[in-house]
Amino acid sequence: MKKRYLVLGLITTAFTSFGQVNQKNYSKKQLSHTDVETVFSYYNQNNDHSAVTGGIGTEDLQVYVTHLSLDNIKDSVRTVHFDLGFDVISSASTDNIDFVLSSASKVDARIYTSLGYSRLLQDKRTTWGMNSSFSIESDYLSWGQSFSINHLSEDQSREFSAALQMYFDDLRWGRYQFDGTRELVYPSELRTTKWFDNYRRNSYNLALGLYQSINRRMALGIYPGLTYQSGLLSTPFHRVYFADNSKQVEKLPGRRLKLPIGIQLNTFIGTRWILRTYYRYYWDDFGISGHTLNLEVPFKASRVLTLTPFVRLYSQNGSDFFKPYAMHAISQEFFTSDYDLSNFKSTATGLGFRYAPYFNKSRTTFKALDLRFTHYERSDGMIANTITLLINYDKEQKPE
Amino acid sequence: MKVNLLKYLLLFFFATALASCQMVKPYQRVYLNDYEMRPGYPGARGFEQYVFTIREGSAGGGGAKTSGGCGCN
């Protein structure tokens, strides 16, 4: 008898109870989030081959960098990108344009920003994007525009990418002087001659990429590129001293074609070690060719901590237009004493430290802290050091 | 002769690497999806790459942007 009542009670309960209450006002909402990266860098260098003083003189330089990068991921389709950077540059060499030492060194600032948008197409494998950029320094102003497309293969093992970047630069001095002065600045003793009619420099870059998974632990990337520059490619305040003791402003051709190809092979070894290898061959019609080899060995010391020792070797065959101080013949059509365009070898070594706890509090996820130190030596005597701190976190927006 | 040998070695290396490609299923991508396996220059590597493009004649090939820009300090 009791069983009957029990069964009846259970059946009645089963038909009258609901696991979910039907909410008529329910609507699907996308949660957007913003990935934030803040970068602080300090760079210093020194040598005695400044192009401002014709291949002799101090190249002492310090740069302090602050950079903010935001990726606002609206949903699984749309991303808005925003960048803002501010560099303070303390350069002893540019102080020598006038030979009037206004301070221990000349202080300049570089401000740059960019705004971009990318969208995943309906096939869920193709992403297109566009980006506009702006950069200003006392001696140049640059506008940039880029378009990019990425396509992922159906099995996600291969990715093609193509980007077209265009930069339109104006090299006139006086951007931070509000009296309307806009002119190319020459070394003080050479200002009686108007050395250049053109003050614009245009750059067009085509960057291609193929990224292929080789197996579960290995991936290969191939990155060919093509860059064409036209306009004023000389720096108007670089002096050149000739063998006959005369002096002029640096003069380089008005066009330059650059052809780089980079190859990257990344391999995960065991459960803790990764080998990142990169090689690049570079050629341009200034006569420069270069080989770059970069080796990094990230070691995962724990789930959240990675240490990355690295070495970068570079060898450059210099430009046909380069000669050191007072070695140029006056009969030459193009000439420079800028050691960045000379024959040299360089070595960069350093250590990276990455702490990535993915610690979540409220709607904010602290993703990672990167610290990286690089020591750079060039065979012409230049020594430089860079230290960079990157803080990365993610902020989820409140649903409306 | 030395350059030719290098070319053949590179060609052999890439032909071998591409020919040995295996299908990797989404659940097998744990190593490939690791942060340190990302292509290019992820994380704090960006600024030093920018410096290299200024202090050296070479630029591009998967690295930092190759803007005209100044970089004249």
Which pLDDT does position A103 carry in this prediction? 44
- Residue A251, classed as helix, strand or coil, is strand
Instruction: Compute the distance between CA of residue A313 and CA of residue A321 in angstroms, rounded to an integer.
Output: 24
A 151-210 residues with CB < 8 A to B: 155-157, 165, 167, 169, 171, 201-203, 205, 207, 209
Q: What value, to the nearest 5°, has the Cα angle with vertex A45 and ends A349 and A60?
A: 170
pLDDT beyond 90 at B68: no
Which pLDDT does position A227 carry in this prediction? 94
- Residue A359, classed as helix, strand or coil, is strand
Is the distance from CB of A275 to CB of A360 less than 8 angstroms? no
Is the distance from CB of A330 to CB of A243 less than 8 angstroms? yes
pLDDT beyond 90 at A188: no
Tokens read off for B68: 């005209």
A374 φ, ψ to 5°? -130, 130
Residues A258-283 have a mean pLDDT of 96
- Residue A206, classed as helix, strand or coil, is strand
pLDDT in tens, A303-361: 999 999 999 999 999 999 999 999 999 999 999 999 999 999 999 999 999 999 988 88
CA atoms within 13 A on the CB side of A349: 2
Q: Percentage of chain A surpassing pLDDT 70?
A: 94
The DSSP code sequence of A21-45 is: ---TT-------EEEEEEEEEEEEE
Is the distance from CB of A93 to CB of A187 less than 8 angstroms? no
Q: Which residues of A41-65 are buried (b: 16+ CB within 10 A; e: fewer)?
A: bebebebebbbbbbbbbbbbbbbeb
Please answer yes or no on whether A384 and B72 come within 8 Å at the CB atom: no
Instruction: Compute the distance between CA of residue A171 and CA of residue A260 in angstroms, rounded to an integer.
Output: 25
A38 part of contact set with chain B, CB < 8 Å:
no
**Better-scored residue on pLDDT, A189 or A307:** A307
DSSP 8-class letter at A399: P
Whats the size of chain B, residue-wise? 73
Determine the straight-line distance between the first and last CA of chain A, rounded to whole angstroms.
56
Q: Which residues of A253-273 are buried (b: 16+ CB within 10 A; e: fewer)?
A: eeebebbbbbbbbbbbeeeee
pTM: 0.88
pLDDT in tens, A64-122: 999 999 999 988 899 999 999 999 999 887 777 765 544 444 788 899 999 999 999 99
Provide ipTM, 2 decimals.
Answer: 0.87
Neighboring chain A residues of B49 at a CB cutoff of 8 Å: none
